[in-house]
Chain A
Amino acid sequence: MLFLIIEGVALWSYASSSPYTEAKILSRTTAVGGAISGTITDVEHFFSLAENNRQLAARVAELSERVAQYDDLDVTLGGEEVSDAVVDSLATRHEGHFRYREARVVSMTTNRMRNFIILDRGAEEGIAPNMGVVTPNNELVGYVVSCSSHYCVVQPMLNVEFSTGGRLVDNDHVCMIIWSGDSKYRVEAQDISVYAEPREGMVVEVRSERLPDGVTIGTIEECELNSTKSAYSAVIAIAADMSRLDNVLIVENTHYGELEELKQELNL
């Protein structure tokens, strides 16, 4: 203690002995103080990353919902050019039928033939089977298959029982997406029309009533004609990193029940 006092007095005396030393020592102590303060801020920032992620995911969900509303509005207006004011005015009155909720992965598997993901949202938050699950970058993860009060189980693409409709972005040809269990980075696209002319690098999106347009499945890595030369099958590199999922979005089509009823009526 005595050492600190005497040393402090000596340094203060030296520092204030000339404008040069005063300025130099002040700048040094400010730099050191700034560095310490910066380090403390970095540590605090690190521990608040989880909360920041959650907030960002919530924001992405909100924005995705609004984009979906605008997309629907664009279809309603028949693509005719209208002023921004008119679009905004209509958007406030227009009800999009896709709802987004952020969720966090509680647990997941990727090394089995029937993999599952558990999310921290359940029936109490309005989650129900057949809702879609996407990453914040709008890449397909899977579909909700079961719910408890506070959790839901998602069947991801990496499940041999998984299937969904796909669409080649370049030419709108549809296909069936399945997983054969060969690789956790690839799924298969089947029944691609011979007129689709699929090729490497083509982007494949989801075509399903459970999700809006624009949700990416991945890109074609290789494709080949089947033995009867009636359709193509392709290997698709999955866009989402399925082994590093953390925050995801659950997508609800509010018209899905209506569509299902209609299908049942017609026995489709």
Chain B
Amino acid sequence: MFRSVPYIGMTLMVLFLQIFILDELSIALWLRPMIFPIVVMLLPMEWRTIWVMLATLAVGLVMDLAQGGAGLYTATLLPLSVLRSWVLYITTRRGVEHGDQTSLFSRMSMRNIMTYVGAMLVLHHAMFFVLERLSFAMPLQLVLTIVCSSALSLIIAWPIVRLYSSKIA
């Protein structure tokens, strides 16, 4: 059964961290950590896609309004809600089985969760930076930005993911 209190707490913490701390940091042009996608990633896999999509829309709108993204955050976050079950299956060979009564994440190993979160972060960062630039003029710089930002995002997000996983276990 989905435990909403830890999830809401995690969501508020992540959005606060993203908007008021990470987005205010100017480390380098090619290093922009974004941890808010984990809010979508950690939604229960058992949920129907439409609910996940609406929750994603809400997170995307908050980010767009807070950062003046004009739809950029929503447009790059929304595909995650559709692709996440595929990404989970591809990276961990795990999927939601019929009749599951407990959260899938509570039954997954930390290594599997890390692989899944890492893959989703790379996917999101790739979509975000490509759409933000709308150009492939400097492909190496684009790849560097995606890889480095995804890695830093994973490092920052990982304690939050672990904490959340321990709360729902």
Q: Interface range on chain B: under 10, 10 to 19, 20 to 34, or 35 or more? A: 10 to 19
Nearest residue in A to B50 (C-beta to C-beta)?
A: A2
**B38-70, CB < 8 A from A:** 49-50, 53, 57, 60, 69-70
Interface check A28, CB cutoff 8 A: yes
B60 — which chain A residues lie within 8 A by C-beta?
A: 10
Residue in B60, B69, B70, B81 whose Cβ sees the most chain A Cβ within 10 Å: B70
Give the residue of A6, A21, A25, A28 whose beta carbon is less than 8 angstroms from that of B78. Answer: A6
Binding site for B on A (CB under 8 A): 2-3, 6-7, 9-15, 17-18, 20-21, 24-25, 28
Assuming the contacts A14-B69, A21-B134, A25-B134, asked whether A2 and B75 have C-beta atoms less than 8 A apart, the reply is no
Q: Is the CB of B70 within 8 A of A24?
A: no
Interface check B95, CB cutoff 8 A: no
Nearest Cβ distance between residue B63 and chain A, in whole angstroms?
11
Residue in B49, B69, B74, B82 whose Cβ sees the most chain A Cβ within 10 Å: B74
B134 — which chain A residues lie within 8 A by C-beta?
A: 20-21, 24-25, 28
Some 27 contacts from A to B, beta carbons below 8 A apart, are A3-B49, A3-B78, A3-B79, A3-B82, A6-B57, A6-B78, A7-B75, A7-B78, A9-B71, A10-B60, A10-B74, A10-B75, A10-B78, A11-B71, A11-B75, A12-B71, A13-B70, A13-B71, A13-B74, A14-B69, A14-B70, A14-B71, A14-B72, A17-B70, A17-B71, A20-B134, A28-B134
A20 — which chain B residues lie within 8 A by C-beta?
A: 134
What is the interface of chain A mostly: helix, strand, loop, or mixed? helix
Give the residue of A2, A9, A15 whose beta carbon is less than 8 angstroms from that of B53. Answer: A2
Assuming the contacts A14-B71, A17-B71, asked whether A24 and B78 have C-beta atoms less than 8 A apart, the reply is no
Interface check B131, CB cutoff 8 A: yes
A12 — which chain B residues lie within 8 A by C-beta?
A: 71
CA distance A216 to B97 in the complex (A): 75
